[in-house]
Amino acid sequence: MRSWAEGALALVILLGLGVALFMFSGESLGEGSTATTAPIIVDPDAAVRGEIIASRTGCLACHTIDGTPGSGPTWRGLAGSSRPLQSGDVVTADDVYLTNSIVDPGSQVVAGFDNIMSPDYEDSLTEQEVVDLVEYIKSLAS
Ligand code: HEC
């Protein structure tokens, strides 16, 4: 049992390192890459749960995952990108921003879109569900 658990742990760590290395190598090859962009590390199990929550909750009625805008911005390539806001600020779509966009969508409205996202997700989703949704969105970063 113990060695199985150790094996599983090693695998998780290796996977994490692999993703990190992949992101780093992608960055050094990328043309307009900025040195300040942190690699996006996704929890794959949470991302799978997030995908189910997104379709069950109706997020995908307004958000696409293929890069085309719906009544909301697409989730493809969102994580880690620069978001121009209606306020004139430009923020990076990190975990904190993504979480905030779900639980308090009116506080940072994306430029060019209306503030039509329901503010009720903070009450209707559990904290874990919000984390899972953020991991799912991060899995669509590229
Ligand atoms: C009725 C349509 C609608 C639904 C349903 C909806 N959203 Fe949104 N969402 C929007 C719009 C419009 C914006 C852009 C304006 C804003 O920032 O609030 C947005 C913005 C976002 C952003 C920030 C996007 C960016 O480009 O920076 C995230 C993240 C997000 N939504 C997640 C979710 C999640 C998760 C759900 C489901 C729990 C959801 N949304 C459901 C319309 C919707």
pLDDT tens for each residue of 79-117: 999 999 999 999 999 999 999 999 999 999 999 999 999
Q: Is the pLDDT of residue 3 over 80?
A: no
CB-ligand 1 contact for 142 (6 Å cutoff):
no
Q: Do 77 and 51 belong together in one domain? A: yes
Model confidence over 43-70: pLDDT tens digits?
999 999 999 999 999 999 999 999 999 9
Mutation test residue for ligand 1: of 51, 53, 57, 62, the one with most atoms within 8 Å of CB: 62
Please give the pLDDT value at position 18. 52
Closest Cα to atom 41, ligand 1: which residue?
A: 59
Instruction: Return d(Cα 4, Cα 114) in angstroms, integer.
Output: 51
Terminal Cα distance for the chain, rounded: 37
Q: Do 102 and 135 belong together in one domain? A: yes
Q: Which two tokens stand for residue 21?
A: 């290395």
Q: Do 8 and 75 belong together in one domain? A: no
Please give the pLDDT value at position 110. 98
* Number of residues in the chain: 142
Distance (angstroms) between ligand 1 centre and the Cα of 66 equals 15
For the entire predicted model, the pTM comes to 0.80
Mean pLDDT to the nearest integer, 34-50? 86
DSSP state of 90: E
Number of domains composing the chain: 2
Q: What is the mean pLDDT of the chain?
A: 86
Q: Do 62 and 103 belong together in one domain? A: yes
What is the identity of the amino acid at 49? R
Q: Do 105 and 63 belong together in one domain? A: yes
**For residue 93, what is the domain's CATH number?**
1.10.760.10
Q: Do 59 and 16 belong together in one domain? A: no
Q: Do 74 and 130 belong together in one domain? A: yes
Q: Do 87 and 133 belong together in one domain? A: yes
Please give the pLDDT value at position 28. 46
Q: Do 56 and 97 belong together in one domain? A: yes
Helix H segments across 30-84? 44-57
Q: Is the pLDDT of residue 30 over 50?
A: no
Structural domain including 76 reads 40-139
Q: What angle do CA 81, 46, 40 make, to 5 degrees?
A: 30
Q: Do 15 and 82 belong together in one domain? A: no
Q: Do 126 and 56 belong together in one domain? A: yes
Q: Do 50 and 119 belong together in one domain? A: yes
